[in-house]
Amino acid sequence: MRMIIICKQFVLWIFFFCCLPANREFLMLCPRLFLLINMPTEQRKIIHCDCDCFYASVEMRDDPSLRSLPLAIGGPASQRGVIATCNYEAREHGIHSAMSSAHARRQCPGLVILPPNFDKYREVSRQMREIFFDYTELVEPLSLDEAYLDVTDSDKCRGSATLIAREIRQRVKKELGITLSTGVAPNKFLAKIGSDWNKPDGETIILPEDIDAFVEKLPVKKIFGVGKVTAEKLHRFGADSCGELRQFSVFELTENFGRFGGRLYELCRGIDSRPVKPSQRRKSLSVEHTYPEDLPDLEACLKQLPELLIKLRSRLRLVDNQYLITKQLVKMKFNDFQSTTVECLSRKPDDATFRELMATAFERGNLPVRLLGVGVRFVDLLEEGKPEQLELFEDK
């Protein structure tokens, strides 16, 4: 089947190139050919996840007293700093990213400006990616707080991309304490527009049958790559919306906008065949729990271990067989917010070793515990290129 599809694409391309110089008018009469060539060959289910004012959300999570204040993360106003992001309270005062901190401070005298803590943001980003990996291996991060997921072949949530997106939002909120907006669509272009559509803490679902109507009204400014200059040029063309842009042929657009003209021709029809390209696979898998009341001693911690291990085992069953376990680990956060991770080499994680690791971790702080985590680290055989059989958890 795949071979037939590839052959079809190949033949269509040859036909397209042969016709191009010889019979331009003919092709102008059949723009569908262009679309046919560039149509993705299968219906995809893509989710775009984007955290809401990420850096500010992490800081508000860690210090709830900041929640009601206009807050920005950026360089100090006294040293020509720039705002990286700000919360929604600050946005109401007209503060936005890339604004100079000095200007922001003048505009909103009560603005709290905190320096960024990238180590912390990277850690939250890593934890969020671990959640994404529970649904698909096809995760393409765009930045610390944004990623595309291709869940076409995922069987989680009965294979429903809508339910997967919803569950991811709920889990990120519950497990990481920040909010995320998602866009669900058959391609990357529409999924990304969707995640921005109902921010913050929102979701947008664009079904294949709704694409045409949704895109028709979409302002051209929403198309990725259409900046101020291109938008003005399109405005002079009489195309402020994607619907208006559709009246131009692929040739007219290519003549005026170069190669981007071809992209515009597709995007204003909601067509985008770019695949999700996973840039990295997971390096570890862990489950954590923050307890509503601190666990007073090691015994209380050990009592929580079986439940954590049940969750870890069920997650481990979902990873593909190219992951080889190399270590097992226990993470502990004490009530003074100091955390520690203890790990040891292990091919087959076992409960007794987890208990020992937990005892070692507890000795390091010897304080009541607010968070416990258990997990494993992997070698990725796909990256290493070493075929070896994966042995999952030792069942006991």
CB-wise, 51 or 139, nearer to Mg ion?
A: 51
CB-wise, 50 or 140, nearer to Mg ion?
A: 50
Site residues for Mg ion, 109-148, by CB under 5 A, read 145
Q: How far is the CB of 152 from Mg ion (least distance, A)?
A: 24
CA distances from 146 to 27, 30, 135, 211, 287 (A): 39, 38, 16, 23, 22
- Cβ-proximal residues to 117 (8 Å cutoff; 6+ apart), any chain: 58, 59
CA gap 36, 147 in Å, rounded: 28
Q: How far is the CB of 199 from Mg ion (least distance, A)?
A: 8
For β-strands 83-86 and 180-185, DSSP reports them as unpaired
187 token code pair:
């391609």
CB-wise, 198 or 247, nearer to Mg ion?
A: 198
Binding mask 281-300 for Mg ion (x = CB under 5 A): --------------------
Q: 28: how many CB neighbours lie within 10 A of its CB?
A: 12
CB-wise, 195 or 286, nearer to Mg ion?
A: 195
CA gap 207, 46 in Å, rounded: 11
> Any idea what DSSP says for residue 394?
P
- Cβ-proximal residues to 207 (8 Å cutoff; 6+ apart), any chain: none
169 forms part of the interface with Mg ion (CB under 5 A): no
CB-wise, 50 or 288, nearer to Mg ion?
A: 50
Chain-centre distance for alpha carbon 112: 28
Q: How far is the CB of 191 from Mg ion (least distance, A)?
A: 14
**Amino acid, res. 378:** F
Q: How far is the CB of 146 from Mg ion (least distance, A)?
A: 6
Which stretch in 47-55, 95-103, 172-180, 209-217 sits in contact with Mg ion by CB under 5 A? Answer: 47-55
CB-wise, 180 or 215, nearer to Mg ion?
A: 180
Which stretch in 50-58, 243-251, 306-314, 386-394 sits in contact with Mg ion by CB under 5 A? Answer: 50-58
CA gap 50, 193 in Å, rounded: 11
CB-wise, 50 or 343, nearer to Mg ion?
A: 50
Q: Which residue, among 304, 284, 285, 286, has the nearest Cα to 370 in the 3D structure?
A: 304
Q: How far is the CB of 178 from Mg ion (least distance, A)?
A: 10
Q: How far is the CB of 288 from Mg ion (least distance, A)?
A: 23
- Cβ-proximal residues to 62 (8 Å cutoff; 6+ apart), any chain: 120
Site residues for Mg ion, 332-391, by CB under 5 A, read none
CA gap 316, 323 in Å, rounded: 10
Q: Which residue, among 295, 376, 304, 299, has the nearest Cα to 333 in the 3D structure?
A: 295
Phi/psi at 300 (5° precision): -65, -35
Number of residues assigned to the chain: 396
**Amino acid, res. 156:** K
Q: Which of 34, 50, 226, 346 binds Mg ion (CB under 5 A)?
A: 50
3-state secondary structure of 293: strand
Site residues for Mg ion, 143-162, by CB under 5 A, read 145
Block residue for tokens 């995760």: 139
Rounded to whole angstroms, the maximal C-alpha distance in the chain is 82
Q: How far is the CB of 135 from Mg ion (least distance, A)?
A: 19
CA gap 144, 120 in Å, rounded: 11
How many residues of this chain bind Mg ion (CB under 5 A)?
3
CB-wise, 137 or 145, nearer to Mg ion?
A: 145
Q: How far is the CB of 97 from Mg ion (least distance, A)?
A: 10
Q: Which residues are catalytic, by number?
A: 146
**Residue numbers at the binding site for Mg ion (CB under 5 A):** 50-51, 145
